[in-house]
Amino acid sequence: MEVITWSEDYSVNIREIDSQHKKLVKLINLLHKETDEKDLHKTVGDTLDELIKYAVYHFSFEESLFAQYSYPETRVHIRAHTDLIAQIKNFLNKYNFSGNVFPIDLIDFLQKWLIDHILEEDKKYGAYLNSKGIN
């Protein structure tokens, strides 16, 4: 069962970023699936590590566009990215040391964060970058 189903409502109207957001959704859904299965401690840890790496890549991509097009809310947006990565790394560290089944709280957190972030923050830069001719 998916915890996030992609909706065109989440589109920022920038093809590459929408594609990256879809990959983040896919990784969160995979993580959810793995937490429902027993004896997958290493698999869950690997998926969470992949999620961190991909999020860093995605955020770097966004931030390069912000710099290139002088996005006025860059500082605030970068802070949100930095905070999320720190929180996910904290979850990963706890998970690696606990050996327990991964808490559903993380999935809920990631789901809420991603959707809220896209709808509230990313839509802003989407409109801004669209006005600069970025699609």
Query: Where do we find the tokens 């890549």?
Result: 57
% of the chain residues with pLDDT over 70: 90
CATH number at residue 73: 1.20.120.50
Residue 8 lies in a domain: no
Is residue 40 a part of any domain in this protein?
yes
63 found inside a domain: yes
Cβ(25)–Cβ(6) below 8 Å: yes
Residue type, 120: E
115 falls within a domain? yes
Instruction: Find the domain containing 35 and state its range.
Output: 14-131
5 falls within a domain:
no
For residue 13, what are its two tokens? 């109207």
Say what the pLDDT of residue 40 is. 60
d(CA 93, CA 133): 41
Digit-coded pLDDT (tens) for 82-104: 998 898 888 777 777 776 645 67
Q: Is 76 exposed, middle or buried (0-12, 13-18, 19+ CB in 10 A)?
A: exposed
Any domain includes 9: no
Domain tally, the chain: 1
Q: Does a structural domain hold residue 125?
A: yes
pTM: 0.86
